[in-house]
Structure 1
């Protein structure tokens, strides 16, 4: 289970860097991604386009993972991501990602994200 936790920590770091190729290397060909309240992207090719649309995010991104829970092929990670936006404002987001794993890769990811006050903690 520690290997899965390490894998998911690294996978989350790829989003913060951002490293689209490393993300793509660690998802299955039939990968499915959705953000709660947003669109769903199915398949690695469409997901590659989504990552390109998403761009690099804000400057000075930082990740703080509070916990990772693993149960068989399912896992969840939650914590905070902070970044500086284009106007120089610091933004902090709480996240909870729900994963389905297959063959050592991420087969499905549902992301829940909400902007929070930077002084709040989990």
Structure 2
């Protein structure tokens, strides 16, 4: 069985290529995502609908660290995606993923906007 870091890396590679379904294949049906201080998505369909707008253009990830322990993988890094106004913005993030049976079951995400991209 693949280790959880390898699973997360494959899922992130899919999302970077705009392959939402490829990413969702790594999630449990009852996956729950909590963006701390913002919103909670419950179930794969809710995540699918959120991705359709939030990731209309694939996000650009820069993963700085992946730390595994037990059923958890914590990812630290930066991400660039379009904000509500359609401008590219940079964010720092810390994602804490809980795995169950080789799939991503729960996400607790701490995302902080750090600035707006000049051009790109």
TM norm. shorter chain > 0.5: yes
TM-score tier (shorter): 0.7 to 0.9
Q: TM-score, normalised by structure 2?
A: 0.78
Q: CA RMSD in A?
A: 2.7
Match of 1:26 in 2: 26
Matched pairs, number: 116
- Alignment check: 8 A CA contact 2:91 2:111 kept: yes
Structure 2: state its 5+ residue gaps. none
* SS at structure 1 position matched to 2:66: strand
Structure 1: state its 5+ residue gaps. none
1:74 matched to 2:72? The reply is yes
Runs of 4+ in 1 over 4 A off after TM superposition: 83-90
C-alpha change, 1:75 and 1:31, in structure 2 (3 Å) is same
1:85 deviates by: 6.5
- Return the alpha-carbon distance in structure 2 between the equivalents of residues 32 and 88 of structure 1: 26
Q: TM-score, normalised by structure 1?
A: 0.77
